Chains A and B, each alone.
Chain A
Amino acid sequence: EIVLTQSPGTLSLSPGETATLSCRASQSVRSNYLAWYQRKPGQAPKILIYGASNRAIGIPDRLSGSGSGTDFTLTISRLEPEDFAVYYCQQYGSSPLTFGGGTKVEIK
């Protein structure tokens, strides 16, 4: 199974700054089937990005995904208060689907 490693574990930033989150796969993700989710306390994960770089419906263009193969990045520009949350990457190109351990973006 593909192991996804996210870094850093926690990112402390101020509103207006840019967050750069990394997700590294133990082997190449087929067809770059890599998604990013946001989760806030007490809520279910919400999809942000699919196919490594495609924004889901309603997701602002401040959020962008990039990467291919084994290295992927989620960039959140001009952080807003609602962006402070935990972010997960997930690969859905190979079974079993697997998730990263998460990166927490917290207010500095």
Chain B
Amino acid sequence: QVQLQESGPGLVKPSETLSLTCTVSGGSMSNYYWTWIRQPPGKRLEWIGNVYYSGSTNYNPSLESRLTISIDTSKNQFSLRLTSVTAADAAVYYCVGGATWLPDQWGQGTLVTVSS
């Protein structure tokens, strides 16, 4: 099984851009869907979107206008970029892998706070 590790700033200012990277180790990124999921404090888990190893993406319509998910298989990484963040974007962000749309291999998660 692959291992996933999120990295990126833990604090982002309102209206700025949140950028996170997930590094995949212990296996190839090929033929997998790579997903971002988040959980704001006290709220349910929210699927953000995914990227296939080929680069094709699928986004949650609620975030699509602000969201970019990309992949760099040469570095075994995929990334999330969310623009114009507000307090509502504060959450634990998870990167997850799966051979299908089912997210079944999770990173430990990283807490992102939005504050000036």
Contacts and interface: CB of A to CB of B under 8 A. Distances in A.
Interface of A: 33, 35, 43-47, 50, 56, 88, 90, 92, 95-102
A97 B60 CA distance: 8
Chain A interface main SS type: loop
A44 B23 CA distance: 16
20 contacts: A33-B101, A33-B102, A44-B106, A44-B107, A44-B108, A45-B106, A46-B106, A47-B102, A50-B102, A56-B104, A88-B44, A90-B45, A92-B101, A92-B102, A92-B103, A95-B58, A95-B60, A96-B60, A96-B62, A102-B44
Chain B interface main SS type: loop
Contact of A45 (B45, B58, B101): B45
B61 interface: yes
Interface in B86-113: 94, 100-104, 106-109
Given A44-B94, A44-B109, A97 B47 contact: yes
Contacts of A56: 104
A14 B94 CA distance: 32
Contacts of A95: 58, 60, 101
